[in-house]
Amino acid sequence: WIGILTLYLVHRGKLDCPGGVLLSSYLIVLIILLAVIIGTVSAIVCVSMKGTICNPGPRKSMSKLLYLRLALFLPEMVWASLGAAWIEDGVQCDRTVGNGIIATVAVSWITVASTAVIIVIVFDPLGGKMAPYPPAGPHHLDSHESSQLLNGLKTAATSVWETRIKFLCCCIGKDDRTRVAFSSTAELFSTYFSDTDLVPSDIAAGLALLHQQQDNIRNNQEPDQVVSHSPESSQEADLDAELENCHHYMQFAAAAYGWPLYIYRNPFTGLCRIGGDCCRSRTTDYDLVGGDQLTCHFGSILQTTGLQYRDFIHVSFHDKVYELPFLVALDHRKESVVVAVRGTMSLQDILTDLSAESEPLDLECEVQDCWAHKGISQAARYVYRRLINDGILSQAFSIAPEYRLVIVGHSLGAGAAALLTIMLRNPYPQVRCYAFSPPRGLLSKSLCEYSKTFIVSLVLGKDVIPRLSVTNLEDLKRRILRVIAHCNKPKYKILLRGCWYELFGGHPEDLPTELDGGDLTQPLLGERSLLAHGSPAYSFSSDSPLESPSKFSCYPAARY
């Protein structure tokens, strides 16, 4: 608005060109229109600063302002269209004025388009409520009618999330596996957010408060008593050996990512080291490993592992939903056949991660209740089929029959490697797995116990992935609801204070905590305003659909 006003005031004397009167009128109307929009947005900002997250009463006029702002998009689009048509006819006035008009039209369309995209992604047509129950409660509805209503709303919520995910992942194809992943991911998100009425800024405010609350509790706690415990010599030797193995095999897990991770780890010299391989034409060396589109990838793999071309049995960077890249190599130093599975590095991998419901595993072992993360188990099955049906492992052991099988991976690849190890346990009893930062919600409890003898997991510090599971996210959601309900500050103050605290530190806010009033089994009054009526969390029961052990796996792989 300031730019257009300045353009008009400074250059209005140069608008005596052909069509200058029309151009002058265009700028005047655009200045007035933008002034009205700025006034509306300013009113929205002022109203949104009133009240608290749990007390929306002072913001009751917000809906009218939002509808007014939405209505102003119509003249804004019309005026932007007129400006585009005028530009199409050619700018015959002063060049500065013409460039200013072109920039104005471009910015107008960018604003309209970006707002439309945000509305498609963020807007919830269901209003964040699971069911419009009457004041008397859901028990006044007929059970069949209530069931139909709930099922209809769940289907609608899943459909909304599926539309959002398809929009965000529009460039990854539409095969059957992708459609299944879209549906699975949409069901996860719709189930997770079905019993709350939170917007993204509420979640951000809750995370900021929760961080300060945890720091406040930590600062006020007495230091834990330090108990020194020296392991026995045999245990210490075993630990040292495993750590040395982890250090060695981590290079294979890193190599599976190809050239992007190599360049990231070697920003100044990486490109020079693998540049020759990137430009080199395809040779028989590449055909021997069965790879496709290797080029820079193969060069980075050789640099990371220190192996030779002839040491690789197979390298694949085929990447689709439920299908992960992997490599198979002969490690002569440790006398092992190494299978390394790549972790998350694409939208397809993210969809694999988010297909988080459990599915049964058909294993030839005596373990009961064999359940695992659906997306990761599908990816492990894909690698298993390639290794067995394509004869890749048979080829490797025909070259080195005395070697043992070792499977490694990082992040998503660590989860796939762990499940692949369990699948290969019967034909290869000596198989060993080293999983670096595997996801937590991977296995059922029985499979977790079974895997402790042959899978080793390594977690570094406060890495979030080994702590990430649907049940932990459900617990995080409840903690966010609780800390928001305790706070009586406006959201903008929470967010400003949270940003300052994250950037510059300082003393955490002295907030009430769950420890102050004993164990609260029922949600607070303010907390109820954030929960959808009739949802399991509304009564703070433990029957949340996300906490069903048969629906979502809760345990990580192996021992740490």
Q: Using an 8 Å Cβ cutoff, are 431 and 336 in contact?
A: no
Question: What is the 3 state secondary structure string of 399-438?
Answer: HCCCCEEEEEEECHHHHHHHHHHHHHCCCCCCCEEEEECC
Q: Where are the beta strands (DSSP E) in 309-425?
A: 312-316, 326-331, 336-341, 358-360, 371-373, 404-410
Tens digits of per-residue pLDDT, 84-120? 777 666 656 677 777 777 788 888 888 888 888 888 7
Q: Using an 8 Å Cβ cutoff, are 551 and 358 in contact?
A: yes
Question: What is the rounded CA–CA span in Å between residue 112 and residue 104?
Answer: 12
What is the pLDDT averaged over residues 52-73?
90
Tens digits of per-residue pLDDT, 272-311? 888 766 666 555 555 555 555 577 888 899 999 999 989 9
Tens digits of per-residue pLDDT, 34-52? 999 999 999 999 999 998 8
The rounded Cα 270 to chain-centroid distance in angstroms is 28
Q: Which region among 70-84, 144-158, 183-197, 419-433 has the lowest average model confidence (pLDDT)?
A: 144-158
pTM > 0.85? no
Answer whether residue 238 shows pLDDT above 90: no
The rounded Cα 449 to chain-centroid distance in angstroms is 28
Q: Using an 8 Å Cβ cutoff, are 360 and 556 in contact?
A: no
Q: Which region among 72-86, 253-267, 306-320 has the lowest average model confidence (pLDDT)?
A: 72-86
Among the options 81, 463, 541, 550, which is catalytic? 463
Phi, psi of 283 (to 5 degrees): -120, 175
Band (199; pLDDT cuts 50, 70, 90): confident
Band (225; pLDDT cuts 50, 70, 90): low
Percent of the chain with pLDDT over 90: 36
Band (154; pLDDT cuts 50, 70, 90): confident
CB atoms within 10 A of CB 500: 12
pLDDT at 77: 85
Rounded to the nearest 10 degrees, how much is the dihedral formed by the CA atoms of 375, 376, 380, 382? Answer: 30
Which SS3 state, helix, strand or coil, does residue 65 take? helix
Question: What is the rounded CA–CA span in Å between residue 379 and residue 353?
Answer: 10
Q: Which residues pair with 348 in a beta bridge?
A: none
**Burial classification of residue 115, based on how many CB atoms lie within 10 Å of its CB (0-12 exposed, 13-18 middle, 19 or more buried):** middle
Answer whether residue 194 shows pLDDT above 80: no
CB atoms within 10 A of CB 237: 11
List the one residue out of 367, 542, 395 whose CA is nearest residue 471. 542
List the one residue out of 338, 351, 347, 337 whose CA is nearest residue 379. 351
* Distances 133 to 42, 257, 308 between C-alpha atoms, Å: 35, 51, 68
Using alpha carbons only, give the angle 70, 75, 76 rounded to the nearest 5 degrees: 80
What is the pLDDT averaged over residues 129-143?
49
Protein fold of 237-467: Rossmann fold (3.40.50)
Which tokens is 522 given? 């029922």
pLDDT at 462: 86
What is the pLDDT averaged over residues 324-332?
95
Phi, psi of 531 (to 5 degrees): -110, 145
Q: Which residues contact 46 (CB under 8 A, 6 or more apart)?
A: none
Widest distance between CA atoms in the chain = 94
Between the ranges 104-108, 230-234, 415-419, where is the mean pLDDT highest? 415-419
Answer whether residue 125 shows pLDDT above 70: yes
Q: Which own/partner contact pairs does 497-501 have at CB distance under 8 Å and 24+ positions apart?
A: 497/208, 498/204, 498/205, 498/207, 498/208, 498/209, 498/211, 498/212, 499/208, 501/208, 501/211, 501/212
Query: Is 114 one of the annotated active-site residues of the chain?
Result: no
Among the options 184, 316, 355, 411, which is catalytic? 411
Q: Which residues contact 112 (CB under 8 A, 6 or more apart)?
A: 73, 76, 77, 80
CB atoms within 10 A of CB 63: 9
What is the pLDDT averaged over residues 457-480?
90
pLDDT at 132: 44
Question: What is the rounded CA–CA span in Å between residue 270 and residue 71?
Answer: 53
The domain spans of the chain are 1-122, 237-467
* Edge-to-edge strands, sheet with 404-410: 312-316, 326-331, 336-341, 404-410, 432-436, 455-458
Q: Using an 8 Å Cβ cutoff, are 313 and 387 in contact?
A: no
Which tokens is 366 given? 């005596």
Band (539; pLDDT cuts 50, 70, 90): very low
- Residue-wise DSSP of 28-53: HHHHHHHHHHHHHHHHHHHHHTSS-S
Q: Which residues pair with 336 in a beta bridge?
A: 331, 404
Which SS3 state, helix, strand or coil, does residue 292 take? coil
Average pLDDT along the chain: 81
Q: Which residues pair with 434 in a beta bridge?
A: 408, 456
List the one residue out of 429, 426, 441 whose CA is nearest residue 376. 441
Q: For tokens 């408060």, what's the residue?
A: 209
Q: Is the pLDDT higher at 351 or at 102?
A: 351
Query: Is 194 one of the annotated active-site residues of the chain?
Result: no
